[in-house]
Amino acid sequence: AQSVTQPDIHITVSEGASLELRCNYSYGATPYLFWYVQSPGQGLQLLLKYFSGDTLVQGIKGFEAEFKRSQSSFNLRKPSVHWSDAAEYFCAEAKTSYDKVIFGPGTSLSVIP
């Protein structure tokens, strides 16, 4: 069965520090991959997505992610974290553009001023 793992349940970083959130997917072929962010009490907002082409994907709010087939990973990065980045981050995969999206368990990010 498809699954998405996010090994870190919770991460705390200092404001201005760099950030990397890990994600591993299970689909054997090249999946559609997404990172969503959920601020407290809010819905999910798409940060970025990948399904083909350049393996380094740029997203909104200064985030980027790199697709590594050899590691089945799609890690999210940001060079300098802002306090407003504190939120829940979800990695997700789908087999095709119209297939159901499988979400990982999420990583909660706290930012220390």
Q: What are phi and psi of 42, to 5 degrees?
A: -115, 170
Contacts of another protein in 62-81 (CB under 8 A): none
Three-class SS state of 61: helix
| Residue 103 lies near another protein (rule: CB under 8 A) | yes
- What minimum distance in Å lies between the beta carbon of 97 and another protein? 4
Torsion of CA 87, 88, 94, 100, to 10 degrees: -110
Q: What are phi and psi of 68, to 5 degrees?
A: -125, 105
Q: How far apart are CA 21 and CA 72, in angstroms?
A: 14
CB nearer to another protein: give 19 or 44: 44
Instruction: Find the binder of another protein among 25, 32, 67, 74 (CB under 8 A).
Output: 32
Residues that bind another protein (CB under 8 A): 32, 34, 36, 38, 42-46, 49, 51, 88, 90, 94, 97-98, 100-103, 105-106, 108
